[in-house]
Structure 1
Amino acid sequence: MSKLSLQALNRATLHRQWLIERHDATALEAIEHLVGMQAQSPLAPYVGLWTRLNGFDPAELARLIEDREAVRGSMMRATIHLMSSRDFLAFRPLIQPRLEREVFQNMTYGRHRLEGIDIDAVLKAGAERMAEGPATAVQLREHLAPLWPDREPPALAHAVRCLLPTIQTPPRGIWGKGGNPAMSTADLWLGAPVDPNPSADDLVRRYLGAYGPASVADAQNWSGLTRLSEVFDRLDLRTYTDAESGRTLYDLPHIDLPDEDIEVPTRFLPEYDNLLLSHADRTRWIDTATRQSLTLQEVLTRGSTLHNGQATALWKLTKSTKTQATLEIQPITKLPRSTRTDIEAEATTLLTFTSPTATHEIRFIS
């Protein structure tokens, strides 16, 4: 098996993540290529698409959500993901085991709080409430509480959110709008049930196409699923060896890797971007010194700046009005002047995207 250096892995995944060159593609094509985008921060996917696409217009994604071609719902790792509607219907059943663990092993909402309850009756009651119209968590609790007065309403509503294929309906997730999350179900919102025969083989192939080369553990970390080695074993895949750790890495046989010395541009990623979440071993993005100085939570809950393919700074839009927008950049490694210049240039482009009519200010903070 060919050995791949960390640099080679970095460049290979950046290439298929569309982070070396912005692509001429639609937002829907990008969302499907990435097998969804984490969207617990509702507007993060807009930045994630801007950094990957030429000429991306936020209105394009807003239309997809309003027209029900794309949805936001509980998916990989039991977190909210923006998916194309067809991918949500195709892959949501595969993620059910992870969502069941989220319910029944959750220290806050699960464990003994649901012990002995007729969970099917709870889900039926939740579905009946959403059939009346999209319901917020509070509205679900108010509906379920009198039916099970001896149980905690938040635990009941959490079970409905996770165990049914729920979708967060607009205006949540619409650029320039907001509001509390309101939920419907796939069959109510999309007029179609989830796929009764979902393909784990297709899910793994799609993962490798967007995040490979990768190990079985990487795919399991991305999806939140277990026992994926059975799927990898039956697929026709190319194998490599991680030169650093000796791990076996898998890839689709038809994909050629880019030159590991290819130059890569500075890119701004939104908080919780799946690029940084979708491998068990994240050394291709974050070097040892950085991992030791920051917690993963610190890196993921703010935007990340990639320079030369590595996470080198965190960013946050601290002020955003029609007249003033301020972007703070916190280096997490020592930045040479040339690197700061590159980051500032891309930050200006980001501010032009997020706040086109405002006066822009970029601050480097310690």
Structure 2
Amino acid sequence: MTVLDTRTLGRATLARQLLLDRADLSTLGAVAHLGGLQAQEPQEPFVGLWSRIRAFAPGELSDLLVERRVVRTHLMRRTVHLVTADDALAWRSRHDAMLRQKVLGVYRAELNGVDLGELAAAGRETLADGEPRTMAELTRAVADRWPDTPPRALGEMLIAALVPMAQVPPRGLWRTKGGVRNLPLATWLGREIAPLSPAGSDPVGQTLVRRYLAAFGPAATADLRAWSGVAGLPAAVAAVRGELVAFRDERGRELLDLPDAPRPDPDTPAPVRFLPAFDNAILGYQDRGRIIDDAHRGLSVAGERVVLVDGRVAATWTVADDTVTVTPLRPFSRAERTAVTEEGSALSAFLSDQDSERVRIAPR
């Protein structure tokens, strides 16, 4: 079986994640291809898409949210993701059990004795008037039934697990501040969520496998689980295995992939790319070594924005006063410093509506 080294896997990830060449895709097409973008920080997806789409216009993403073709919702890993409306409706039921267990993993003691079916019914009853609510407003409406349960536990279980929710605009719009207000996903989108398939069949799971590999492959089943948070996908993997090709990484793990997906030559030049906080190009794997050194792995879960140089995390970045500041994690060559400065200037212009191209490279 062919062994793919770390550099080869890194180039494959860049190609799948639209980071090797900016794509001539629509904003909706890019969100769909990527299987969504992690989006608990509402402005971060705009940078993620700017780094991936040629001539990306942030107003396009805002329009998609307002038009209800893209939605912010709890999905993979119980984190807020920006996904297409079609994917949210098709995938949500398959994530329900995982979402419930993730919340219980934090609030099991607090929710002891709470009938979750009754809690879900109370939440739906409160939201039946079609008015978006904050978590605090929703929990106040139901808390009298569970006076001894901490409101936060009730709210997290309702909003992240029991009642599929959309975070409605202005939350997530370009350069717009707005708190989180929730409405049932089916109400917001005007369409019902697809139910779970009968026991013994898992078409949604099979779709998740194919879509994950298209955007992240080649990858191990442990990587698939790390991205989705869903544990019960072995049967789906087995069902589609005949469609796939297999490799091994340098650790000996089996990697699966779509046969015709891009696997570029490891010496393919990789341009500098600025990634937003919590980007799935890093978080979408159990083994993140293809793109980030183990010594820097903590950056990916700490919300640090990072810079890819030659396909690997080589710096962090921040922005303040219309200036992008890059802090290297290793020494840059003269050519790397020039490339980072050029891409940082372009990012500064994007974030400032062309008012600034200032970029600063700080000392290590």
Q: Give the letter aligned to residue 173 of structure 2.
A: I
Name the counterpart of 1:16: 16
Residue pair 1:144, 1:157 contacting (<8 A) in 2 also? no
Name the counterpart of 2:309: 307
After superposition, the C-alpha distances for 1:43-93 in whole angstroms (9 at most, x for unaligned) are 111111111111110110000000100000001000000000000001111
Give TM-score scaled by structure 1 length: 0.93
Q: Distance in 1 between matches of 2:297 and 2:292?
A: 11
Residue pair 2:16, 2:262 contacting (<8 A) in 1 also? no
Residue 50 (structure 1) aligned with residue 75 (structure 2) = no
Deviation of 1:300 (Å) = 4.8
Residue 84 (structure 1) aligned with residue 84 (structure 2) = yes
Call closer, same or farther: CA 1:256–1:70 in 2, change over 3 Å. closer
Q: Distance in 2 between matches of 1:273 and 1:216?
A: 20
Q: Distance in 1 between matches of 2:251 and 2:246?
A: 15
Q: Distance in 2 between matches of 1:125 and 1:348?
A: 51
Aligned partner of residue 144 in structure 2, secondary structure: coil
After superposition, the C-alpha distances for 1:143-196 in whole angstroms (9 at most, x for unaligned) are 122232222111111110122211100000000211110001111111112111
Residue pair 2:15, 2:262 contacting (<8 A) in 1 also? no
Q: 2:111 aligns with which of 97, 111, 114?
A: 114
Deviation of 1:103 (Å) = 1.7
34-43 vs 249-258, which deviates more? Answer: 249-258
Q: Give the letter aligned to residue 256 of structure 2.
A: Y
Call closer, same or farther: CA 1:256–1:175 in 2, change over 3 Å. closer
Q: Give the letter aligned to residue 288 of structure 2.
A: R
Q: Distance in 1 between matches of 2:300 and 2:310?
A: 21
Identity of aligned residues (%): 38
Give TM-score scaled by structure 2 length: 0.93
Q: Give the letter aligned to residue 328 of structure 1.
A: T
Give RMSD over aligned pairs.
1.4
Name the counterpart of 1:322: none
Q: Distance in 2 between matches of 1:125 and 1:20?
A: 48
Name the counterpart of 2:210: 205
Q: 1:154 aligns with which of 152, 155, 166?
A: 152
Deviation of 1:356 (Å) = 2.1
Residue pair 2:114, 2:146 contacting (<8 A) in 1 also? no
Aligned partner of residue 124 in structure 1, secondary structure: helix
Aligned runs of 1:228-267 on 2, under 5 Å?
A: 228-235=233-240, 236=242, 237-242=244-249, 244-267=250-273
Q: Give the letter aligned to residue 60 of structure 1.
A: E
Which structure 1 residue ranges, 5 or more long, are not aligned? 320-324
Which structure 2 residue ranges, 5 or more long, are not aligned? 198-202
Q: How many residues align?
A: 353
Call closer, same or farther: CA 1:199–1:356 in 2, change over 3 Å. same
Q: Give the letter aligned to residue 232 of structure 1.
A: V
